[in-house]
Amino acid sequence: MKKIAKDKLSLLWKKIAENYQLFLPITEGKVVNFSIWEEGAEVDLNTLRTVNSPKNIIFPQTETYLKFKKEGKKLNLEVVANKGEYVVFGVRSCDVASFKLLDNVFLDEPIDKFYEESRKKGLIISQACLNPQETCFCNSFGINPELAPEGADISTWELGDLLFWEAQSEKGKNLTEALGDILEEVIEDEQEKLNQLKTGIKDRLKDLPLAQINPETIGGDLKEIFDSEIWDELHRRCLGCGMCTYVCPTCHCYDVKDYDGNKGGERFRCWDSCMFSDFTMMAHGNPRTTQKERVRQRFMHKLVYYTNNYKSYACVGCGRCTEKCPVSLDIVKVIKKLGGERNEL
């Protein structure tokens, strides 16, 4: 295991940025989101979670993948190359776990080649959560933020003035070797303090308000859950704004559109939301015409459909939807209702 003094992190980032596009949690205005690092950027490693997840880096909100131009009777097509190699530094364990859930969708047959290329070129550096917030419930989905998360190439922990650094994959080991003398070896006493830190994080998780959320309390078969009267109650508060889907690190619905610029144009894909009334609109109309059907689709997908296909839930307990939904209709309340809780919303 390695370490680096936190006052030397700018040197570390500068070294990484020589060969990679480097993304870090950066303060812009009043929000913190992952952005490309440049010298002088206001990096914030203390904010527990960014407003938007780093999903946008590997699965961009808008992505042009084909350009076309008409010259006389000829139509020239150009497949747009994806970005170069990149590093995402400071990814929380819940967001690291979300990448695996996206992989299940995009890397299953037929493989999404643009997503596959993006994943191959990326290197993920995780950061442990020292102080999980009241809206966090990642433990409910088997995520342990005090440990090195599966899927990270390098894992880091902050302790006092130090940042501990542990390579997890071959890519992570290669980057660690390339950084040379910037990183130092951890001594035995420091390793013991790190172990104590991990234990402290684990203990704090047990005291969080949502620590007992358990999606496995959802009983009944698919049809029983689908036909439940609970949806009649749940959907009434939904505004259909789509906020929950856009901040969610595991939502992956998108639309494909063409931009027509007279003699030339672009084909691009952009995120879409199952909360929108025109989602999956087809020539004959929309298969889900009511907000009840749309709300049910969202949470059935998260908690039932995805689970039936991939043996895991399509949620990582990051808490973004519990924090951002303007009417407090989030997956925690849905799990409680489907699990038999009779409290009012």
Give the start-end residues of each E strand in 251-304. 254-261, 264-271
pLDDT at 181: 87
Q: How many residues does the chain have?
A: 345
Residue 264: what pLDDT? Answer: 86
Residue 66 makes CB contacts below 8 A (sequence gap 6+) with 77, 78, 79, 80, 266, 267, 268
Predicted TM-score of the model (pTM): 0.92
Phi-psi region of 288 (alpha: psi -120 to 50; beta: other; left: phi over 0): beta
How far, in Å, CA of 146 to CA of 205, rounded? Answer: 10
Q: Look at residue 343 in the predicted model and tell me its pLDDT.
A: 60
Q: Which two tokens stand for residue 130?
A: 């020292």
Q: Give the residues of the chain that fall short of pLDDT 50.
A: none
What are phi and psi for residue 56, nearest 5 degrees?
-60, -20
Q: Cβ distance 275 to 268 under 8 Å?
A: no
Give the whole-angstrom CA distance, residue 117 versus residue 219: 39
226 vs 232: CA distance, rounded Å: 11
Place of tokens 């209709």: 329
Q: 142 and 113 in contact (C-beta within 8 Å)?
A: no
